[in-house]
Amino acid sequence: MIIAIDGPAGAGKSTVAKLVGSELGLDLLDTGAMYRVFALAASRAGISENDQSRINSLLQETSIGFSESQPRRAILNGTDVADEIRSLEISQLASQLSAISEVRRAMVKAQQQIIATGDWVLEGRDVTTVVAPNADLKIFLTASIEERARRRWVEMIDRGESVRLQAVVKEVVERDHRDYTRDDSPLMLAEDAVIIETFDVSPAQVAGKVVALARR
Protein backbone atom coordinates (compact mmCIF):
# COMPACT_ATOMS: atom_id res chain seq x y z
CA MET A 1 0.00 0.00 0.00
CA ILE A 2 1.10 3.53 -0.78
CA ILE A 3 -0.49 6.44 1.10
CA ALA A 4 0.53 9.93 -0.08
CA ILE A 5 -0.07 12.96 2.11
CA ASP A 6 0.25 16.43 0.58
CA GLY A 7 -0.32 19.90 1.92
CA PRO A 8 1.33 23.26 2.58
CA ALA A 9 4.01 23.95 5.21
CA GLY A 10 2.81 23.45 8.77
CA ALA A 11 -0.36 21.55 7.91
CA GLY A 12 0.69 18.64 10.12
CA LYS A 13 1.86 16.22 7.44
CA SER A 14 4.90 14.82 9.26
CA THR A 15 3.14 14.09 12.54
CA VAL A 16 0.10 12.56 10.87
CA ALA A 17 2.25 10.46 8.51
CA LYS A 18 4.21 9.04 11.48
CA LEU A 19 1.01 8.09 13.29
CA VAL A 20 -0.52 6.53 10.18
CA GLY A 21 2.64 4.58 9.40
CA SER A 22 2.82 3.26 12.96
CA GLU A 23 -0.83 2.23 13.01
CA LEU A 24 -0.80 0.49 9.62
CA GLY A 25 2.74 -0.88 9.71
CA LEU A 26 3.90 1.25 6.78
CA ASP A 27 7.40 2.63 6.34
CA LEU A 28 7.65 6.43 6.39
CA LEU A 29 9.24 8.67 3.77
CA ASP A 30 9.64 12.35 4.68
CA THR A 31 10.31 13.86 1.25
CA GLY A 32 10.74 17.34 2.69
CA ALA A 33 13.66 16.13 4.80
CA MET A 34 15.52 15.24 1.62
CA TYR A 35 15.31 18.85 0.41
CA ARG A 36 16.45 20.04 3.83
CA VAL A 37 19.45 17.71 3.75
CA PHE A 38 20.44 19.05 0.35
CA ALA A 39 19.98 22.60 1.64
CA LEU A 40 22.31 21.80 4.54
CA ALA A 41 24.89 20.48 2.08
CA ALA A 42 24.57 23.67 0.03
CA SER A 43 24.85 25.84 3.13
CA ARG A 44 27.99 24.06 4.28
CA ALA A 45 29.51 24.51 0.81
CA GLY A 46 28.57 28.19 0.71
CA ILE A 47 26.33 27.71 -2.33
CA SER A 48 23.37 30.06 -2.83
CA GLU A 49 20.12 29.23 -4.62
CA ASN A 50 21.29 31.36 -7.57
CA ASP A 51 24.48 29.41 -8.29
CA GLN A 52 23.05 26.94 -10.81
CA SER A 53 26.38 25.44 -11.90
CA ARG A 54 27.53 24.64 -8.38
CA ILE A 55 24.09 23.34 -7.45
CA ASN A 56 24.22 20.87 -10.34
CA SER A 57 27.66 19.70 -9.25
CA LEU A 58 26.52 19.35 -5.64
CA LEU A 59 23.61 17.16 -6.72
CA GLN A 60 26.10 14.72 -8.23
CA GLU A 61 28.36 14.76 -5.17
CA THR A 62 25.75 14.52 -2.41
CA SER A 63 24.42 11.29 -0.90
CA ILE A 64 21.06 11.65 0.86
CA GLY A 65 19.42 8.82 2.74
CA PHE A 66 17.79 7.66 5.95
CA SER A 67 18.87 5.44 8.82
CA GLU A 68 17.77 1.81 8.88
CA SER A 69 16.58 2.06 12.48
CA GLN A 70 13.22 3.51 13.44
CA PRO A 71 12.41 6.32 13.57
CA ARG A 72 14.37 6.91 10.39
CA ARG A 73 16.80 9.83 10.65
CA ALA A 74 18.12 11.93 7.76
CA ILE A 75 21.64 11.09 6.59
CA LEU A 76 24.00 13.36 4.61
CA ASN A 77 27.04 11.62 3.11
CA GLY A 78 26.90 8.95 5.79
CA THR A 79 26.38 11.31 8.75
CA ASP A 80 23.21 11.80 10.80
CA VAL A 81 22.00 15.39 10.32
CA ALA A 82 18.39 15.01 11.47
CA ASP A 83 18.73 17.67 14.15
CA GLU A 84 20.63 20.17 11.99
CA ILE A 85 18.08 20.38 9.18
CA ARG A 86 15.21 21.81 11.25
CA SER A 87 16.44 25.38 11.68
CA LEU A 88 14.59 28.34 10.12
CA GLU A 89 17.60 29.15 7.93
CA ILE A 90 17.83 25.65 6.46
CA SER A 91 14.06 25.57 6.04
CA GLN A 92 14.14 28.78 4.02
CA LEU A 93 17.05 27.62 1.85
CA ALA A 94 15.38 24.25 1.26
CA SER A 95 12.26 26.03 0.03
CA GLN A 96 14.32 28.20 -2.33
CA LEU A 97 16.31 25.25 -3.69
CA SER A 98 13.17 23.14 -4.11
CA ALA A 99 11.92 25.58 -6.76
CA ILE A 100 14.88 24.67 -9.00
CA SER A 101 13.85 22.09 -11.62
CA GLU A 102 17.10 20.12 -11.50
CA VAL A 103 16.84 19.76 -7.73
CA ARG A 104 13.20 18.65 -7.82
CA ARG A 105 13.80 16.12 -10.59
CA ALA A 106 16.73 14.59 -8.74
CA MET A 107 14.75 14.34 -5.51
CA VAL A 108 11.61 12.97 -7.17
CA LYS A 109 13.66 10.29 -8.92
CA ALA A 110 15.28 9.27 -5.64
CA GLN A 111 11.92 9.23 -3.85
CA GLN A 112 10.28 7.08 -6.51
CA GLN A 113 13.14 4.60 -6.27
CA ILE A 114 12.67 4.39 -2.51
CA ILE A 115 8.94 3.62 -2.68
CA ALA A 116 9.23 1.27 -5.67
CA THR A 117 9.09 -1.70 -3.29
CA GLY A 118 7.31 -2.18 0.00
CA ASP A 119 4.47 -0.38 1.73
CA TRP A 120 4.90 3.32 2.38
CA VAL A 121 3.29 6.44 3.72
CA LEU A 122 4.99 9.49 2.26
CA GLU A 123 4.42 13.16 2.86
CA GLY A 124 5.46 16.31 1.06
CA ARG A 125 4.21 18.99 -1.31
CA ASP A 126 3.98 17.06 -4.58
CA VAL A 127 3.62 13.45 -3.50
CA THR A 128 0.00 12.95 -4.63
CA THR A 129 0.54 14.50 -8.06
CA VAL A 130 4.19 13.85 -8.99
CA VAL A 131 6.04 11.42 -6.73
CA ALA A 132 3.21 8.90 -6.26
CA PRO A 133 0.37 9.79 -8.65
CA ASN A 134 -0.88 6.18 -8.48
CA ALA A 135 -0.98 6.03 -4.67
CA ASP A 136 -3.75 3.89 -3.19
CA LEU A 137 -4.87 6.78 -1.00
CA LYS A 138 -4.21 10.50 -1.45
CA ILE A 139 -4.70 12.98 1.35
CA PHE A 140 -4.43 16.79 1.28
CA LEU A 141 -4.04 18.39 4.71
CA THR A 142 -4.65 22.09 5.14
CA ALA A 143 -5.09 24.86 7.73
CA SER A 144 -4.92 28.65 7.75
CA ILE A 145 -1.60 30.45 7.31
CA GLU A 146 -1.84 31.79 10.86
CA GLU A 147 -2.46 28.36 12.36
CA ARG A 148 0.32 26.70 10.37
CA ALA A 149 2.78 29.44 11.31
CA ARG A 150 1.84 29.15 14.99
CA ARG A 151 2.49 25.39 14.91
CA ARG A 152 5.91 25.80 13.34
CA TRP A 153 6.78 28.55 15.81
CA VAL A 154 5.83 26.34 18.79
CA GLU A 155 7.96 23.50 17.39
CA MET A 156 10.96 25.81 17.06
CA ILE A 157 10.52 27.23 20.56
CA ASP A 158 10.27 23.69 21.94
CA ARG A 159 13.60 22.88 20.25
CA GLY A 160 15.16 25.83 22.04
CA GLU A 161 15.36 28.15 19.03
CA SER A 162 15.00 31.90 19.51
CA VAL A 163 12.64 33.03 16.76
CA ARG A 164 9.82 35.56 16.52
CA LEU A 165 6.36 34.45 15.47
CA GLN A 166 6.24 37.22 12.85
CA ALA A 167 9.35 35.79 11.17
CA VAL A 168 7.74 32.36 10.97
CA VAL A 169 4.51 33.80 9.50
CA LYS A 170 6.59 35.56 6.85
CA GLU A 171 8.46 32.34 6.07
CA VAL A 172 5.23 30.32 5.71
CA VAL A 173 3.74 32.93 3.34
CA GLU A 174 6.90 32.93 1.22
CA ARG A 175 7.05 29.14 1.13
CA ASP A 176 3.39 28.92 0.12
CA HIS A 177 4.04 31.29 -2.77
CA ARG A 178 7.06 29.31 -3.97
CA ASP A 179 5.28 25.97 -3.55
CA TYR A 180 2.22 26.99 -5.55
CA THR A 181 3.97 28.98 -8.30
CA ARG A 182 7.18 27.05 -9.06
CA ASP A 183 7.47 25.81 -12.65
CA ASP A 184 8.41 22.23 -11.76
CA SER A 185 6.10 20.09 -9.59
CA PRO A 186 4.05 22.89 -7.99
CA LEU A 187 1.89 22.09 -4.99
CA MET A 188 -1.48 21.12 -6.43
CA LEU A 189 -4.66 19.45 -5.25
CA ALA A 190 -4.99 16.03 -6.88
CA GLU A 191 -8.49 15.46 -8.23
CA ASP A 192 -8.89 12.23 -6.24
CA ALA A 193 -7.34 13.49 -2.99
CA VAL A 194 -9.35 13.61 0.22
CA ILE A 195 -9.12 17.07 1.82
CA ILE A 196 -8.80 17.15 5.62
CA GLU A 197 -8.89 20.44 7.53
CA THR A 198 -6.52 20.16 10.51
CA PHE A 199 -7.44 23.33 12.41
CA ASP A 200 -8.55 22.59 15.99
CA VAL A 201 -8.20 18.85 15.36
CA SER A 202 -5.52 16.77 17.07
CA PRO A 203 -2.94 14.89 14.94
CA ALA A 204 -4.28 11.63 16.39
CA GLN A 205 -7.79 12.47 15.19
CA VAL A 206 -6.54 13.36 11.70
CA ALA A 207 -4.47 10.17 11.57
CA GLY A 208 -7.53 8.21 12.65
CA LYS A 209 -9.46 9.57 9.66
CA VAL A 210 -6.64 8.58 7.30
CA VAL A 211 -6.36 5.11 8.80
CA ALA A 212 -10.12 4.59 8.48
CA LEU A 213 -9.97 5.63 4.82
CA ALA A 214 -7.05 3.27 4.20
CA ARG A 215 -8.78 0.32 5.79
CA ARG A 216 -11.98 1.06 3.93
Q: For residue 110, give Cα distances in angstroms to 28, 59, 78, 137.
A: 15, 12, 16, 21
For 82-114, what is each residue's pLDDT tens digit? 999 988 889 889 989 998 999 999 999 999 999
For 30-86, what is each residue's pLDDT tens digit? 999 999 999 999 999 999 888 999 999 999 999 999 998 877 899 999 999 999 998
CA dist 114 and 55 (Å) reads: 23
Q: List, in sequence order, every beta strand (DSSP E) within 7-85.
A: 27-30, 64-66, 74-76, 79-80
- DSSP class of residue 25? T
In this predicted structure, what is the pLDDT of residue 71?
Answer: 79
Contacts of 98 (CB under 8 A, 6+ apart): 35, 104, 107, 125, 178, 179, 182
Half-sphere exposure (Cβ direction) of 68: Cα atoms closer than 13 Å: 1
- The residue-averaged pLDDT of 180-193 equals 89
Q: The domain containing residue 46 runs over which residues?
A: 2-215
CA dist 14 and 20 (Å) reads: 10
CATH, residue 177 = 3.40.50.300
**How far does CA 34 lie from the centroid of its chain?**
8
Name residue 120's beta-bridge partners: 2, 27
CA dist 33 and 86 (Å) reads: 9
Dihedral sign for Cα atoms in the order 215, 198, 191, 8: negative
Does the reported pTM lie above 0.75?
yes
State the total domains in the chain. Answer: 1
Residue (of 86, 48, 99, 84) closest to 168 by Cα position: 86
CB 145 within 8 A of CB 176: yes
For residues 62-82, one letter each, b for 16 or more C-beta atoms within 10 angstroms of the residue's C-beta and e for the rest, the string is bebbbeeeeebbbbbeeeebb
